[in-house]
């Protein structure tokens, strides 16, 4: 017997997964990326700005000498990798919203 709460949870995951996947920015449209302690900012070629807030800010601390990379070579999604001398860590941010 299928539990109703389990069915609702599965339907929620199926619906919300593609919603996150639609939030992408083309790398050709981005002029500059700025990292702060709690947010990531994208300056676009047309001088508009977008912001995404980190989901876990302590995991997204980029320091001098560390590199970052987005998984897809053509598009920016809501996750990137910080590469440092001990290895790497994943950093996720919330949906990107236009601020200016």
Cα 22 from chain centre: 12
Cα 94 from chain centre: 6
- Sign (positive/negative) of CA torsion 68, 70, 75, 77? negative
pLDDT at 94: 87
Residue from 34, 29, 43, 51 nearest 99 by CA: 51
pLDDT at 54: 92
pLDDT tens, the chain, 100 aa long: 555 544 444 444 334 333 333 457 888 899 998 988 889 999 999 999 999 999 988 888 888 778 888 888 788 888 888 888 888 888 999 888 888 7
Give strand pairing partners of 70. Answer: 80
Domain edges within the chain? 25-98
Q: pTM for the whole thing?
A: 0.67
pLDDT at 3: 53
């Amino acid at each position: 017997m299928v539990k109703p709460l389990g069915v609702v949870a599965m339907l929620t995951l199926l619906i919300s997964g593609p919603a996150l996947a639609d939030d992408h920015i083309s790398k050709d449209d981005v002029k500059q990326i700025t990292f702060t302690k709690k947010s990531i900012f994208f300056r676009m070629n047309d001088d508009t700005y977008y912001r995404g807030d980190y989901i876990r800010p302590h995991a997204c601390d980029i320091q001098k000498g560390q590199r970052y990379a987005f998984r897809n070579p053509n598009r920016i999604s809501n996750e990137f990798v910080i590469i440092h001398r001990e290895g790497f860590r994943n950093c996720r941010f919330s949906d990107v919203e236009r601020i200016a």
